[in-house]
Amino acid sequence: MPLVRALADPPGTAALDGAGWTALITIARAEQLLGSLAYRLEGRPMPGAAAAILADARRSAEQQQVQALWEAEMARRALAPLGVPVVLLKGTAFAAAKLPPSIGRSIGDLDILVPRESLDAVEAALIAAGWKWVKDDAYTLHYYKQWMHELPPLIHRERDRMIDVHHTILPLTARPTPDAAALIADSVALESGLRILSPADIIVHAAVHLFADGDLAGGLRNLWDIDRLLRSSDAHAGFWSALAARAERHGVTAAVAHAARQANALYATPIPREWMKWSPFDAWSRRRLLARDGWGRARRPVTRLAFYARSHWLRMPPAMLARHLWIKARDRRG
């Protein structure tokens, strides 16, 4: 796939013609990786039209980071009086700590992690500061509070930006149970007072988010995050064993190992020899990750549907899943 090739091997883009560049740019946009690609290829010889499009993408990513960090600051101000630790997750965390994945990364919602016992106070403080529920029907609120690892999404009335408030990194119904208290206890404070996860937990979270939770839509970007994080940590002595220990503590060894193998396969991320134990699932999930054509269309509907079903299966025991789908279907009809 041209996007994965270009990210892993920037000099290879020298061979692209106009149609090849158009396809690459379209796929990168669809996978939310155009900004990352733009920095990856910065300064390389390329046609003027491509250079202009990538320069726009770099400016746009920079502006998105300004907005994302401002949104984090707004949340910090709203929550500061509570005195609870507020841990930034995903894109905003990368940007706030200037970690390697933040270079050119698009950032959507603000994701934060807070202690579960503070959830009610956090929710009240955010609502008092101008956030409101996106969906406020009784089933949605009940469903999230009872079973999910986050509050239902909140959106700010004036700034129109969403915040996801997590209290752990996997749904409560999922089979592994990460140690949420350890995530917060070992988090690292930034200058602003906001926090980020420990280096190993950041990678654990990215891997869990990709392979133990969702349906792999937009997975190439998550995997690119993982590649950047692994490469920047690889040189630290004892990093890989610390990562393995951390993954085991959270009960997500398989997801973390799979993420490392897949990053190695697609982005040539250096990983230790003993981490390269292929499983049949690898080929299947790669098929899903690469299901995008040069027009930006999602391909392989059967594979995508299978992963969509898998994402629900991972989240819920069968009886609960049946009940959930029944209620959603009923609501859609009514």
Partner 1 sequence: MHSFTVRIGPVGFRVGSAWPRPVAALEAIYAGYPGPRDGIADFTVRLEPERPWRRFVRPSVAIRGDFILPDAVPMALRHGFLAAEMGMNLQMALGQRRFLLLHASAVERDGRVLLMTGESGAGKSTLAALLGERGWRLMGDEFALVDPVSGLIHAFPRAVSLKNAAIAMLRAEASEDRFGPELDGTPKGTLRHLRPRADAVARMDEPAAPALLLFPRYGHDRAIRPMGEAEIFVRLTQASTNYVALGEAGHAALARLVKTVPTRAIDYPDSAAALAIVDMLWAEQAR
- Contact set with partner 1 (CB under 8 A): 17-19, 21-22, 25-26, 29-30, 47-50, 52-53, 56-57, 59-60, 63, 66-67, 295-297
Here the tokens at position 216 are 């792999």
Nearer to partner 1, 57 or 170 (CB): 57
Q: 118: which residues sit within 8 A by CB, 6+ positions away? A: 82, 84
What CA–CA distance (Å, rounded) separates 153 from 21?
37
Look up residue 166 and give its DSSP letter.
E
The nearer residue to partner 1, 283 or 305, going by C-beta atoms, is: 305
Q: How far is the CB of 49 from partner 1 (least distance, A)?
A: 4
Using DSSP bridges, classify how beta strands 154-156 and 110-113 pair: parallel, antiparallel or unpaired: unpaired
Q: How far is the CB of 60 from partner 1 (least distance, A)?
A: 5
Nearer to partner 1, 70 or 326 (CB): 70
In angstroms, give the least distance from the CB of 158 to partner 1: 12
Indicate the residue among 52 and 327 with the shorter CB distance to partner 1.
52
Minimum gap (Å) between residue 35 Cβ and partner 1: 11
Question: For partner 1, which is the closer residue by CB, 153 or 296?
Answer: 296
Minimum distance, C-beta of residue 296 to partner 1, in the bound complex (Å): 6
CA distances from 135 to 144, 172, 174 (A): 11, 21, 23
- Do the beta carbons of residue 324 and residue 171 sit within 8 Å? no
For partner 1, the closer CB: 46 or 194: 46
To the nearest whole angstrom, how small is the minimum distance from the Cβ of residue 37 to partner 1?
14
Listed in sequence order, the residues at least 6 apart from 332 whose beta carbon sits closer than 8 Å to its beta carbon are: none
Q: Residue 172: helix, strand or coil by DSSP?
A: coil
CB 242 within 8 A of CB 265: no
Biggest CA–CA distance in the chain, Å, is: 58
Which CB sits closer to partner 1, 19 or 319? Answer: 19
Q: What's the min distance (Å) between Cβ of 295 and partner 1?
A: 5
Q: Where are the extended beta strands (E) located within the chain?
A: 87-88, 110-113, 131-133, 154-156, 162-166, 188-189, 195-196
Nearest C-alpha neighbor of 302 from the set 317, 318, 316, 284? 284
C-beta of 53: minimal distance to partner 1 in Å?
Answer: 6
Fill in the amino acid letter for 215.
D
| Beta partners for residue 189, in sequence order | 195
Tokens of 104: 């050119």
Q: Which is nearer to partner 1, 52 or 188 (CB)?
A: 52
